[in-house]
Structure 1
Amino acid sequence: MKHFILLLLLTTGFAQAQDLKGKIEYDETVQFKMNFGGDMDEAMFANIPKSNTNSYELIFAEGKSLYRSSTNPEKKAAPKQMFTTDDGAQIEIKTKRSEDVTFYNMSKKELVQKTDFMDRVFLIEDDLKNLKWKIEADTKTILGYNAQKATYTEDSTTYEAWFTTQIPASIGPSRFVGLPGAILELSVNDGERTYVATNVDLEADYSSEIESPGKGKKVTREEFVKIREEKLKEMEAEFGGAHEGGGVKVFIQKN
């Protein structure tokens, strides 16, 4: 009888996830890594913004989800950032908004991430077994939902997530899934990149828009990381090192 009850509970939970639909909005913030070249005085750039924030949304229905740039007109445009150096020069930072799309099929454990890198489009097929979450005892409230902490480490990168079983679907921002509830907050390496939910709407129906991205070069995550690292090394060589002059170089990498 105990085995029957457990199976019934697990089946019921999966059915609830399949029936869930809605949208979770996130602010995704990236801390800039500055690399000053040549004889440039870092003090001149003391007022430069240290981070960039953009808005994204996670839509989900029928056991599938899609993480994409916000479709809200007020949040869609990437904000311009201005700063003034100590000598009075006005400098404007323009950031290209990421149009990455991540599709997840909960029942098939299928995750595909479409990303643009160096004018090439890649379709990264992820192995969800790599996300070995460790659920912790810590809890807190996020947007009125009871959330629990979970962590995992991949290579030298640490991830801290806060998920809620009150939204019983294994979904989250970008490629971060695999917990028994929706991830409402996530931090990479103590805040180098953060994902913070700003709104939850469990009435919205975007089921017709949730499709796996189609065009791009299919690669594994390991293959993509290798390609990215090689190209970044080429960029460093092209623009010069610390003794060859040049400008401020800002590299933003997706984890």
Structure 2
Amino acid sequence: MKNILYLFVLVGYFAFSQVPNLGIVEYQRIINNPGGVSFGTAYRLYFDAERSMYKRMGDAKRINKNEEQSYGSEGQQVTDKILKSSLPFSYYYTNTKDKNLLFRETIVQKSYIVQDSLEVIPWKLEEDYKEIGEYECQKAMAKYRGREYIVWFTTEIPVSHGPWKLRGLPGLILEVTEETGKYEFRATKINLSPDHEKVKEELQKPKTKAKDIIGFDGYKEVIKNKAKDERAMMLASLPRGGKSLEGCDICPDPNNRSLERFE
């Protein structure tokens, strides 16, 4: 009887250990604008061992108040007022087993659903460590989509996910800084005992129609034209006689307006 009981407990433990890692992480995506003003936008990452869904949860909120600066719904500097959008929020869905990356973004007041690819990010692991919350994290660096990133990840949560499209390390990415200082991602809350059904529901591939999806080449063209299109939108919104600031000391760099930069 003892042998049977021992076998039952052992099998039960083995089965439990094979359950894929599930979790929910709250992040702040921070955009640091010229003039010392920063905005944070709340995002939430749902994940298991193979899939992740990173989705925006609300509008940007001012971190440092500066009445002379004005920003859009994700914190980008655009006009003399904060623009609200009725378009659906952005998301980034990945499936490492199927090599699938599908995302939705709003660019110049238009929503795009884009079929992307899971590129191998050439991470270089550093021998630097620090504590973030209760987790020991290791430093890594890489260049990806026109920007260089410094990230901190923890192998105590052994999944290869992270905020936005950043992934591919032997642990969850908790903190990100970008070379120009414009963009940051910071985990603010981690739940490793979530409602499993809720996570599984969020990890279903978004339902989309083929006609609504654009390829990555089309997306790159939209990004390349973003600064020009934003300027046209800004000029159209100015009151009669209004002027835009160009060439000023605190004007946003037109080449630094998108997270991904393409030549």
Aligned to 2:243: 246
The higher-RCO structure (CA 8 Å, 6+ apart) is 1
Letter in 2 for 1:165: T
Given the superposition, is the C-alpha separation of residues 130 and 114 from structure 1 closer, same or farther in structure 2, using an over 3 Å criterion?
Answer: same
Given the superposition, is the C-alpha separation of residues 93 and 108 from structure 1 closer, same or farther in structure 2, using an over 3 Å criterion?
Answer: same
- Count matched residues: 213
| TM-score (normalised: structure 1) | 0.71
Q: CA RMSD in A?
A: 3.2
**Shift of residue 32 of structure 1?**
1.9
Aligned to 1:12: none
CA deviations over 1:203-226 (Å, ceiling 9, x no partner): 113211222233333221x43122
Aligned to 1:55: 42
Q: Is the 8 A contact 1:28 1:196 kept in 2?
A: yes
**Shift of residue 61 of structure 1?**
2.8
Aligned to 1:126: 116
Instruction: Measure, in 2, the Cα distance between the counterparts of 1:26 and 1:17.
Output: 27
Letter in 1 for 2:30: T
Given the superposition, is the C-alpha separation of residues 84 and 169 from structure 1 closer, same or farther in structure 2, using an over 3 Å criterion?
Answer: closer
**Shift of residue 66 of structure 1?**
0.5
SS at match of 1:126: strand
Of all paired residues, the percent bearing the same amino acid is: 25
Aligned to 1:99: 89
Unaligned runs of 5+ in 1: 1-14, 34-45, 71-75, 86-90
Instruction: Measure, in 2, the Cα distance between the counterparts of 1:82 and 1:149.
Output: 31
| TM-score (normalised: structure 2) | 0.69
**Shift of residue 92 of structure 1?**
7.5
1:145 aligns with 2:163: no
Instruction: Measure, in 2, the Cα distance between the counterparts of 1:120 and 1:211.
Output: 24
CA deviations over 1:104-160 (Å, ceiling 9, x no partner): 113223221111223433223333234211111111111211111111113642111
Instruction: Measure, in 2, the Cα distance between the counterparts of 1:197 and 1:120.
Output: 28
Aligned to 2:61: 79
Matches within 5 A, 1:143-222: 143-154=133-144, 156-205=146-195, 206-215=199-208, 216-220=212-216, 222=217
Letter in 2 for 1:22: G
Instruction: Measure, in 2, the Cα distance between the counterparts of 1:16 and 1:247.
Output: 59
Q: Which runs of 4+ in 1 moved over 3 A?
A: 15-18, 76-85, 95-98, 234-240, 247-252
Unaligned runs of 5+ in 2: 1-15, 69-78, 236-240, 246-250
Letter in 2 for 1:172: G
Aligned to 2:75: none
